[in-house]
Amino acid sequence: MPSSYRRFLTLVIALIIGVATPVLVQARPDLERTIGATVADSPSPDYQFSDLRLTSADGQRRYRIRIAQPRIAPPSTGYPVIYFLDGNAVLMELNAHLLAQLAVQKQPPVLVLLSYDNDLRIDSRDRSYDYTPASQQKVGKQPNGGADAFLKLIETQVKPAVAAKVTVNPQQQTLWGHSYGGLFVLHTLLTQPAAFQNYIAVEPSLWWGKGFILQEAQRVIDRHPPLSAHLQLWIGGAEKMREAPPIIRQSQLPADAAQSLAKRLATLDGLKVDYREWPGLDHGAMLSAAIKPALEGIAKDKAADQ
């Protein structure tokens, strides 16, 4: 049995039984913070913003989807598109200078900011439901398990609405998520890999559900299906070992949890995996740090013009 495989199995078992070494405690975000004025509120010579409002199938959650479209003509194959989870928080990190930099690239992307229909930077309750997979156990105090329904909403309502507004390249679609959003990115890749071509998981909550996503990944690895996708797994070096939020009371992660996952997923045929660490950045700081590299990578991707 290869040593990397043994380490991965050990990681999964440790998370299931709750054995790991605690080091850092995750800082909790300010859940009352609102977005205020953003780049979407001022006319831009580079990008045009429009809104789309939707309701979940069960009628419990309302969404505000912001679509940022480059003002220049689309490439012959259509614009590449990046779908950002926690769209309000991402919107707060955008500025006119960044949009101007994107607009002069050969492949300026369309930005789709998946948000809730309120002015909260982070809607803790609704994202806890939409971004987490269905599990047989209850995790924390918030409702969870709506990831598959949320992905269905993206596939059947959001994507068609974006395509009706903007000329997009259906073969150059990226899904980006941080924390619970990163968990959603990985779950989508493992269960519906053809939904997107590029997946960017930033500080994914691997601890969630006692390592639910690691167990899901191992089941896929055991089947070894051919995939055609690109996963970028990005981690802040300051929190390679950290506890789950105290309110969750879950297991801690070993230092190489994400790196081990990346190595194992890279064994799947057709799946390109890039693992990157940002030295000195903690969990919260990674949300901001991972936006510009994601956008620049798409804008400069030569494959988008093929």
Which of the residues are catalytic?
A: 179, 239, 283
> In the structure encoding, which two tokens stand for residue 234, read together?
């990005």
> In the structure encoding, which two tokens stand for residue 296, read together?
């620049």
Q: Phi and psi of 67, rounded to 5°?
A: -115, 120
Q: How far apart are CA 68 and CA 52, in angstroms?
A: 11
In 3D space, the residue among 249, 27, 24, 246 whose CA is nearest the CA of residue 122 turns out to be 27
21: CB partners within 8 A, 6+ apart: 241, 252, 254
Residue 83 backbone zone (phi > 0: left; psi -120 to 50: alpha; other: beta): beta
Helix (H) or strand (E) holding 79: strand 79-84
In 3D space, the residue among 111, 99, 126, 110 whose CA is nearest the CA of residue 43 turns out to be 99
